[in-house]
Structure 1
Amino acid sequence: MPTPSLIPARRRLLAVAASTLAVAGWAPCAAMAQAWPSRPVTIVVPFPAGGGTDVAIRSIQPQLQKELGQPVIIDNRAGAGGTIGSAYVAKAAPDGYTAVLATTSTHAVSVSVYPNLPYAPERDFVYAGFVATSPYVLAVHPSLRARDVKGLVELLKKNPQHYSFASVGAGTVSHLLGEQFKTYAGVPLVHVPYRGAAPAYTDLMGGQVQLMFDNPAGLVPSIRAGRLIALATTAPNALLGEVPTFAQQGIPNFTQSLWYGLAFPKGTPAPVVQRMNQALNKVLADRAVSADFAAKGLNARPGIPAELQAAVKADIPYWSRIAKDVGAKID
């Protein structure tokens, strides 16, 4: 079943559209939106440079700063599955000059796997809108010599104690999908969490770990170069059109996608949030941006702020069930 946040909800959108029109008609808000920004805006990426999250925002950074009329600074603050950077933004001044590139991992999955999470995604943020969505790819080291998922499972079962899977961090979607696959395969794979995608890719290509779930944006260059093998995707993707989905290989329940979106600290003025949403939508509507995203395995996702807010609300219980099923918990 697809991730709940990505299922259209017409009634919700109609209601949101009405509220958006009301905000747009408020003259003082419009004046405030025009005044912002008057200095550089920092977007915190809660993962290291080189991974899919970083690629997504850097792909639109030049166009976004042109639209806002101010520099957009990317600040990579990695650690703890993206929760360190997210917590930093939750506590930042709500003046519109610090935002976070929120993801499914940091603002939906984290609630269930981090008992002492230092922020509440629904309480401590206001959401400006989606940036992009992406499926996940199961990639393996070429030495495994598997060319489909069932072949991989057969191989793993022959030496069940010898294999491990990487993730971009404990408590991320990358982690939970690995645990879900471990349960499906029925083998005791060892989870090896990393501080982001780039170091995980290095060890995966070096054979220190044998398999990994992540999005195409970071994995495709290594797949194209033959340093990694893609066995399946969670949803069709034009960039990896030759790679069958899990469903096409007769394997259910691996249909999840990842979203990226911009969030500000709670208390950020509504006109600022709306102005950022307008800038985002204008950038994402550009055909050149859509083409660039597609070449990186990303899908541009324009929309309104309340859509992302609703996605967070829907995805928290969805991922909570999966985390409970696979026993994922970070002390």
Structure 2
Amino acid sequence: MPCTTPSPRTRRRLALACLAAASACLAPLPAAAQDWPAKPITIVVGYPPGGSTDLMGRLVGTELSNRLGQPVVIENIGGAGGTIGAQKVVNAAPDGYTLLVGANNELAIAKLVTPRTVKYTPAQFTPIGLIGSQPMVLVASNASGVKNAADFVQQVKKNPGKFSYGSSGVGTALHLAGEMVKEQGGLFMTHIPYRGVAPLTSDLVGGNLEFGVFVLSSGLPHIKTGKVVALGTTAAKRAPATPDIPALAELPQFKNVNIESWFALMGPAKLPQPVLAKLKKALAETLQSPDFRQKMAAAGSSVAAPGADLARFWDEEIAKYTQIVRFAKIEE
């Protein structure tokens, strides 16, 4: 078929079509992402009010509200160790208006210990940033007669299987901390799971249980009043909030004990880049705020380094917990 030269009208149409296509490629991002936030933001916390994760959510929510210029509402959705709240954020629209302040229980541990129940995976979140961490503390009841970590090791090794330790439930960070202590120290103790910290505390104070594991902020009031004896914290070094309580890692048997409760700000998968950038900037400014750092220290928590690689940290934590879960034979 012979080639024909386009008419002037056809050339104009072709030129306009090309210009329209080029304009579409260079079009700005949707106004919703550009103008974000244009309405209140909800931060989901997968626990009832009053716990350590709830406290983190409220501290971070206040700071983000100040920096983003919109109210931040905390929505407490308790149940299933934080996983119900996490699932709600996974299912939310990726528009930046529904976020999660979560802990390692629901973000890294739950999928390992209850894989049939927990349906979400790390790929269904957008990591925004680490907020901070808090060690756990191994304690002894006064009735046990144990006064320090060295005495604890001696007594448990001398009487394998005689002693028990309690946590706030199977598969929690407290449970995994206790199992890490057992693994590293070559100790044989029975784990007693409780339905929360309150009954665990009652049995420890009443002398019905020899040992227990608390989040530091939960255990500290009972340590200060002498109702239980602090044997050591579970981070690699002493906690800044309690420099008088040794880290378990100071003993040769426990030199590799390093496990903490940590908290992170997450969004659903596929958050728009402009929204993610604003959230990361606001969180980084929050972590450097003297007022925020002071409140975190008062709660017994350390503040994460701004810009810390949450995705890499998350992978490393999951690998650590996988090893502990296998050692403890924790199964759904």
Q: What range is the shorter-chain TM-score in?
A: 0.7 to 0.9
Instruction: Report the equivalent of 1:18.
Output: none
String of CA shifts for 1:260-284, please: whole Å, max 9, x gaps. Answer: 1111111332222222221111111
Instruction: Report the equivalent of 1:232.
Output: 232
* 1:290 alignment partner AA: R
Instruction: Report the equivalent of 1:45.
Output: 45
User: Equivalents in 2 of 1:30, 1:139: separation in Å?
Assistant: 54
Contact 1:30 1:271 in 2 (8 A): no
User: Equivalents in 2 of 1:255, 1:185: separation in Å?
Assistant: 16
String of CA shifts for 1:52-87, please: whole Å, max 9, x gaps. Answer: 222222333322222222222222223333222222
Contact 1:122 1:313 in 2 (8 A): no
Q: CA deviation at 1:113?
A: 1.4
Which is greater in Rg? 2
Contact 1:50 1:198 in 2 (8 A): no
Instruction: Report the equivalent of 2:279.
Output: 276
Structure 1, unaligned stretches of length 5 or more? 1-25
Contact 2:144 2:207 in 1 (8 A): no
Structure 2, unaligned stretches of length 5 or more? 1-25
User: Equivalents in 2 of 1:120, 1:129: separation in Å?
Assistant: 19
Q: CA deviation at 1:131?
A: 0.7
Q: CA deviation at 1:39?
A: 2.4
Bigger drift between 64-73 and 210-219 goes to 210-219
Contact 2:135 2:239 in 1 (8 A): yes
Q: Does 1:136 align with 2:136?
A: yes
User: What SS does the aligned partner of 2:274 have?
Assistant: helix
User: Equivalents in 2 of 1:204, 1:55: separation in Å?
Assistant: 25
User: Equivalents in 2 of 1:167, 1:49: separation in Å?
Assistant: 20
The within-5 A match list for 1:313-324 is 313-324=315-326
* 1:275 alignment partner AA: K
Alignment length (residue pairs): 303
What's the TM-score once normalised by structure 1's chain length? 0.80
Contact 2:156 2:188 in 1 (8 A): yes
String of CA shifts for 1:271-312, please: whole Å, max 9, x gaps. Answer: 2222222111111111121122122221111433x8112222
Contact 1:51 1:198 in 2 (8 A): no
* 1:190 alignment partner AA: H
* 1:247 alignment partner AA: A
Q: Let me know the Cα RMSD of the aligned residues.
A: 2.8
User: Equivalents in 1 of 2:208, 2:280: separation in Å?
Assistant: 42
Alpha carbons of structure 1 residues 42 and 144: separation in structure 2 relative to 1, 3 Å: farther
Instruction: Report the equivalent of 2:215.
Output: 215
Instruction: Report the equivalent of 1:286.
Output: 289
Bigger drift between 219-228 and 179-188 goes to 179-188
* 2:270 alignment partner AA: G
String of CA shifts for 1:97-127, please: whole Å, max 9, x gaps. Answer: 2211222222222232122143343211001
Question: How much identity, in percent, do the aligned residues show?
Answer: 32
Contact 2:45 2:101 in 1 (8 A): yes
Alpha carbons of structure 1 residues 161 and 321: separation in structure 2 relative to 1, 3 Å: closer
* 2:123 alignment partner AA: R
Alpha carbons of structure 1 residues 49 and 143: separation in structure 2 relative to 1, 3 Å: farther
Contact 1:81 1:169 in 2 (8 A): no
Contact 2:177 2:213 in 1 (8 A): yes
Q: Does 1:254 align with 2:257?
A: yes
User: What SS does the aligned partner of 1:220 have?
Assistant: helix
Contact 1:137 1:232 in 2 (8 A): yes
Contact 1:44 1:85 in 2 (8 A): yes
User: Equivalents in 2 of 1:120, 1:300: separation in Å?
Assistant: 27
User: What SS does the aligned partner of 1:239 have?
Assistant: coil
User: What SS does the aligned partner of 2:241 have?
Assistant: helix
Instruction: Report the equivalent of 1:308.
Output: 310
Bigger drift between 45-54 and 285-294 goes to 45-54
String of CA shifts for 1:145-194, please: whole Å, max 9, x gaps. Answer: 32112322444567766654333343222111122334546334133143
Q: CA deviation at 1:128?
A: 0.9
Instruction: Report the equivalent of 1:102.
Output: 102
Q: CA deviation at 1:129?
A: 0.6
Contact 1:164 1:192 in 2 (8 A): no
* 2:291 alignment partner AA: A
Q: CA deviation at 1:33?
A: 5.2
* 2:309 alignment partner AA: E
Instruction: Report the equivalent of 1:87.
Output: 87
Instruction: Report the equivalent of 2:16.
Output: none
* 1:91 alignment partner AA: N
Instruction: Report the equivalent of 2:247.
Output: 245
User: Equivalents in 2 of 1:99, 1:185: separation in Å?
Assistant: 41
* 2:325 alignment partner AA: A
Instruction: Tell which has more relative contact order, 1 or 2 (C-alpha 8 A, sep 6+).
Output: 1
